């Protein structure tokens, strides 16, 4: 029991759980994170548009609105500390009808009540100055909206927490929680942990975790959103996110187009309530719909631009019949002391993660005297991207380390040295997608057709693994079962 005894255990290593872990690592307490997947970005945190929202979509007075605005304003500092790619590119919400124009006015009023900065309604002529290929009679322009890499952000929070003393236990699915004296006993698929505090940040499974301690008030309603990814060759068509006026009933922001921080364009997401919280399928009907809806805003889209599709699932607290949004639930109950449940943390959870982390720490401080960790270091360095360096710098890197001279992923110009650094990451993750998310290898036009087997070989060599032990992404997802000629 001694080795597994903690001050705080966080269940769930998504962006919010990792942000909480990083905030807690500022103090001299023992913190562990339990994650049922093999990496920290297998579910909702990595499957989204990668947008830093401004906060005008959220109901005034809600935690959603408060944390979204706080997260947006403070993000420049976080991005600098964690060395993650981020740009404030702005955002357009476009309207075509009289009803749409009224909707834009309502969004602006709501945003101003939430203290969102830099909102204005602009004409078609002004839309064309910002985004020549985007259609609309008028638009709400938000200058504070930004774009980021959700994979790298989630990973960076975890790595910085880890570097500051937080222990991460992957492939630990929580099966049961019991209160014993002043401790919680948390049983996982591998071993049992003990902790004075439990933070339930389990996302799509947060209602299940809450029920383990007798809280039956909440039900997560999985809502799947499907996306298309366009090749970088189409990237010049759109440099600013373009959204329609949202449908209040659907509980999403509508089919929108978002330039990624790396030069691709996302189309989506759809909004479809499903029965399973792990069904990441893509469907033909939705894919066709995405193309048609995307062309309304950006008519220049062509079929040859499409290189991949994917889906994400929102952990919604409202069902299909009610629609719309429920507020974030972040609570501790008197009858279940020292357990904080975070339930229904959907969009804008990515933007809100750090303020949520600080809020959870303040709730713990109401009952605990936390001693500052004077060795806490907020700075984390990313893997250096060879392709973004000057020609002179590239020559210097190759001279010092020949691994920089070997290109493994041709589409994204990722070197062997970048792959090796990713394989030897602080969290010890060695899945194929783990390397993909940390380097962008396999995210280009060929989607791994050239580099996937080379990355597999490097993992085998670095980790001394047999080919049959190589996992693509999830548990039991072995890539190979034998050899072929």
Q: Which residues are catalytic?
A: 53
Distance of alpha carbon 156 from its chain centroid, rounded? Answer: 11
DSSP 283: -
User: Cβ(480)–Cβ(44) under 8 Å?
Assistant: no
Beta strand residue intervals within 171-298, DSSP E: 174-180, 183-188, 192-200, 221-230, 242-244, 256-259, 265-268, 272-273
- 360: tokens are 């959870």
Taking alpha carbons only, the member of 53, 239, 257, 263 closest to residue 131 is: 239
Distances (CA, A) of 75 to 61, 79, 112, 127, 452: 21, 6, 19, 26, 34
Q: Is residue 288 classed as helix, strand or coil in its secondary structure? A: helix
Q: Which long-range contacts (CB under 8 A, 24 or more apart) does 370-373 make?
A: 370/27, 370/28, 370/29, 371/27, 371/28, 371/29, 372/26, 372/27, 372/28, 373/25, 373/26, 373/27, 373/28, 373/164, 373/165
Q: Give the torsion through C-alpha atoms of 42, 44, 48, 51, to 10 deg.
A: -110
Distances (CA, A) of 216 to 219, 320, 341, 358: 8, 20, 12, 26
Q: How far apart are CA 418 and CA 404, in angstroms?
A: 8
Q: Which long-range contacts (CB under 8 A, 24 or more apart) does 105-112 make?
A: 107/56, 107/57, 107/140, 107/245, 108/56, 108/140, 110/56, 110/57, 110/58, 110/59, 110/60, 111/54, 111/55, 111/56, 111/142
- 44: tokens are 């909702």
- 420: tokens are 């090796």
């Amino acid at each position: 029991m001694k080795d597994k005894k903690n001050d705080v255990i966080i269940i769930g290593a998504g962006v919010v759980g990792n942000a909480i872990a990083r905030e807690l690592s500022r103090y001299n307490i023992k913190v562990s994170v339990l994650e049922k997947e093999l990496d920290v970005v297998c579910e909702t945190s990595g499957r989204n548009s990668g947008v830093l929202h401004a906060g005008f979509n959220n109901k005034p007075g809600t935690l959603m609105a408060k944390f979204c605005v706080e997260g947006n304003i403070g993000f420049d500092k976080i991005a600098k500390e964690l060395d993650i790619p981020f740009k404030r590119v702005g955002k357009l919400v476009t309207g075509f009808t009289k009803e749409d124009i009224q909707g834009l006015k309502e969004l602006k009023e709501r945003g101003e009540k939430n203290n969102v900065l830099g909102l204005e309604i602009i004409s078609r002529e002004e839309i064309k100055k910002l985004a020549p290929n985007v259609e609309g009679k008028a638009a709400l322009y938000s200058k504070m909206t930004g774009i980021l890499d959700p994979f790298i952000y989630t990973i960076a929070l975890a790595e910085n927490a880890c570097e500051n003393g937080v222990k991460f236990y992957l492939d630990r699915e929580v099966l049961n929680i019991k209160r014993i004296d002043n401790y919680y006993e948390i049983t996982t698929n591998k071993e049992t942990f003990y902790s004075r505090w439990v933070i339930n940040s389990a996302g799509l499974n947060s209602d299940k975790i809450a029920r383990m301690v007798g809280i039956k008030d909440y039900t997560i309603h999985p809502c799947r959103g499907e996306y298309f990814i366009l090749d970088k060759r189409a990237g010049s068509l759109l440099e600013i996110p373009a959204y329609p006026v949202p449908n209040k009933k659907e509980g999403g922001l509508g089919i929108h187009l978002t330039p990624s921080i790396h030069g691709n364009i996302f189309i989506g997401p759809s909004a479809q309530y499903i029965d399973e919280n792990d069904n990441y399928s893509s469907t033909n009907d939705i894919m066709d719909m995405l193309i048609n809806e995307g062309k309304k805003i950006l008519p220049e889209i062509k079929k040859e631009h499409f290189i991949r599709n994917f889906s994400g699932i929102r952990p919604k607290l409202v069902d299909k019949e009610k629609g719309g949004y429920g507020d974030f639930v972040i609570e501790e109950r008197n009858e279940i002391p020292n357990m904080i449940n975070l339930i229904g943390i959907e969009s804008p959870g990515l933007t809100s993660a750090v303020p949520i982390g600080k809020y959870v720490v303040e709730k713990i401080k109401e009952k605990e005297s936390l001693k500052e960790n004077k060795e806490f270091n907020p700075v984390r360095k990313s893997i250096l991207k060879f392709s973004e360096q000057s020609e002179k710098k590239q020559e210097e890197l190759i001279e010092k380390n020949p691994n920089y001279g070997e290109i493994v992923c041709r589409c994204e110009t990722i070197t062997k040295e970048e792959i090796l650094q990713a394989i030897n990451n602080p969290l010890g993750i060695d899945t194929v997608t783990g390397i993909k998310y940390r380097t962008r290898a396999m995210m280009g036009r060929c989607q791994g057709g050239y580099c996937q087997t080379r990355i597999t070989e490097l993992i085998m060599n670095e980790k001394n693994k047999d080919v049959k032990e190589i996992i693509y992404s999830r548990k039991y997802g072995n890539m190979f079962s034998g050899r072929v000629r």
